[in-house]
């Protein structure tokens, strides 16, 4: 977490949390979702209009990614100064990029070590790593397939709907607030 964020937390400890305004898609892209966009439907499984506006500002994206982590309930958030901005997930909290040597890094560029390889009923490939569970980026499926074919990663079958509970992450913190 950035020092400036820690300082803001100490200065303003009781800022309310924010839900529904930030989303992470299945390719590791960040989306801003204002009230109008949120009214169009959910981030995951919704329409193109309910996804919001893709963030393009590199420094903002870097700031979000440096301050992105889960809480004890498995809800992923971005600590924006004194405010937690909970993230709507299209797939998983991490999106893996696979390098030619089969090393991996998440969408924020943080390296990790593969512990398990999972394949769901739709053919999507997930990696459990020392830093958490993530979906393999679609552009890296050739490298991932090579790792599987070479026996470096042995797939285990999973049901996609079971992943959030099994790996303790919440796809939509906003929905939890409405229950």
Domain layout of the chain by residue ranges: 3-91+168-178, 94-162
Q: Which residues contact 48 (CB under 8 A, 6 or more apart)?
A: none
Task: Find where tokens 């979906």 sit.
Answer: 135
Both tokens assigned to 114: 């593969």
| Long-range Cβ contact pairs of 154-162 (< 8 A, separation 24 or more) | 154/117, 155/117, 155/118, 155/119, 155/125, 156/116, 156/117, 156/118, 156/119, 157/118, 157/119, 157/120, 157/121, 158/118, 158/119, 158/120, 158/126, 159/120, 159/121, 160/120, 160/121, 160/122, 160/124
Confidence category of residue 16, pLDDT binned at 50, 70, 90: confident
The single residue listed with the structure tokens 């552009």 is: 139
8-state DSSP, 67: T
Q: What confidence score (pLDDT) does residue 68 get? A: 96
Please give the pLDDT value at position 3: 78
What Cα–Cα distance (Å) separates residue 147 from each residue in 66, 72, 104?
29, 33, 11
Q: Does residue 134 surpass a pLDDT of 70? A: yes
Q: Is the pLDDT of residue 2 over 80?
A: no
Q: What is the pLDDT of residue 154?
A: 97
List pLDDT tens digits, range 18-64. 999 999 999 999 999 999 999 999 999 888 889 999 999 999 999 99
pLDDT surpassing 80 at residue 7: no
Could you tell me if 85 and 21 are in contact, meaning their C-beta atoms sit under 8 angstroms apart? yes
The confidence band for 98, taking pLDDT boundaries of 50, 70 and 90, is very high
C-alpha to C-alpha distances, 40 to 12, 37, 48, 51, 172, nearest whole angstrom = 33, 5, 9, 9, 15
Predicted confidence band of residue 9 (pLDDT cuts 50, 70, 90) = low
Residue 162 has pLDDT above 90, yes or no: yes
CATH architecture of 3-91+168-178: Roll (3.10)
Q: Is the pLDDT of residue 82 over 90?
A: no
For the segment 134-162, the average pLDDT, to the nearest whole number, is: 97
Least trusted range by pLDDT, from 113-122, 132-141, 145-154, 169-178: 169-178
């Amino acid at each position: 977490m950035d020092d400036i964020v820690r300082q803001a937390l100490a200065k303003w400890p009781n800022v309310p949390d924010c839900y529904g305004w930030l989303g992470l898609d299945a390719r590791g892209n960040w989306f801003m979702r204002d009230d109008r966009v949120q009214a169009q439907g959910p981030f995951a499984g919704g329409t193109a209009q309910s996804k919001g506006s893709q963030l393009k500002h590199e420094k903002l994206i870097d700031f979000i990614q440096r301050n992105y982590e889960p809480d004890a309930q498995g809800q992923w958030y971005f600590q924006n100064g004194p405010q937690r901005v909970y993230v709507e997930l299209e797939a998983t909290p991490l999106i893996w990029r696979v390098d030619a040597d089969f090393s991996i890094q998440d969408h924020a560029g943080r390296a990790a070590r593969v512990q398990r390889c999972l394949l769901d009923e739709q053919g999507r490939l997930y990696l459990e790593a020392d830093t958490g569970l993530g979906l393999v980026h679609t552009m890296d499926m050739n490298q991932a397939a090579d790792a599987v074919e070479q026996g470096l990663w042995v797939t285990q079958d999973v049901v996609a709907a079971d992943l959030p509970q099994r790996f303790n992450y919440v796809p939509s913190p906003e929905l939890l607030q409405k229950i």
